[in-house]
Amino acid sequence: MVACVLVVCVSAAAQTGRASLQGSISETVAISVPPNFARGNVETELVNIDNSVQLILRSSDANASPVIRVPLLVRSNSGFKVSALFESETAVLAQLSVIDLQATGKLVSSYAITALRSVPQSTGRDISQPLLVLSGPRVSLGGTLESPNNALQVTLLVRLQPRQRRGWVAHLTFVGTPESLIQ
């Protein structure tokens, strides 16, 4: 009996290499106003669209100087700023200021609260250019644009002064935009 033995040498050479993955996340700022906010004696239409909120304010009582508290919800994954634009032929923006702020949950950066910069506006005149209202660092540590626990609620005081003896209409638009805090 003849046996044949076949010997095969197997050799493997280890290969070393590197893989690298790079990407970026776009800066996002989303602002909104809850649809059930208290409007006082002013008729209000509210339009929330991603990074802007438009309030259309109306009153038939020209003797009242309305004061409206607007709870603005801010969510961002980067530094942000919020500007306002006021338009009316029948009323003047007398005051716009931040009167309160609070986190809506555990996914809000504590630094966002301490580092928020607000710019009180006591105008009493027409505002035809956007007006900086507030700015700050990243707000949201996680979640989505609809998560209930990752927004900073900023309460704004809006005081209007009617120009005439009949009813008035005003448009107040807030816009949130990303802002690099490193200059």
User: What is the CATH classification number for the domain harbouring 89?
Assistant: 2.60.120
Q: What pLDDT sits at residue 1? A: 46
Looking at per-residue pLDDT, the higher value among 55 and 166 belongs to: 55
pLDDT score at 183: 45
Instruction: Please indicate, yes or no, if residue 8 is contained in any of the structural domains.
Output: no
What Rg value do the Cα atoms of the chain yield, rounded?
27
- The answer to whether residue 5 is domain-embedded is no
pLDDT given at position 99? 93
φ/ψ of 110, rounded to 5, equals -65, -25
Q: Does residue 172 form part of some domain?
A: yes
Per-residue pLDDT at 146 exceeds 60: yes
Averaged pLDDT of the chain: 83
Q: What is the rounded CA–CA span in Å between residue 68 and residue 87? A: 16
Instruction: Compute the distance between CA of residue 95 and CA of residue 67 in angstroms, rounded to an integer.
Output: 9
d(CA 41, CA 61): 9
For residue 18, pLDDT beyond 50: yes
Q: What local confidence, expressed as pLDDT, does residue 175 receive?
A: 96
pTM: 0.81
Residue 42 to residue 48: CA distance in whole angstroms = 18
- pLDDT confidence tier of residue 63, bands split at 50, 70 and 90: low
Count structural domains, the chain: 1
In angstroms, the first-to-last Cα distance of the chain is 88
Is residue 20 one of the residues assigned to a domain? no
In a domain, residue 6? The reply is no
CB of 34 within 8 A of CB of 151? no
Assigned domain for 9 exists = no
Check whether 6 has a pLDDT greater than 50: no
In a domain, residue 50? The reply is: yes
3-state secondary structure of 63: coil
Q: What is the DSSP letter of 177?
A: E
Strands 91-103 and 152-162: antiparallel
Say how far apart CA 179 and CA 100 lie, in whole Å: 22
Report the distance separating Cα 150 and Cα 161, nearest Å.
Answer: 35
143 assigned to some structural domain: yes
DSSP 37: -
Say if CB 73 and CB 33 are below 8 A apart. Answer: yes
- What pLDDT, on the 0 to 100 scale, is given for residue 162? 87
Per-residue pLDDT, 107: 96
Residue numbers of the domain that contains 84: 29-176
pLDDT over threshold 80, residue 82? yes
Higher pLDDT, 36 or 54: 54
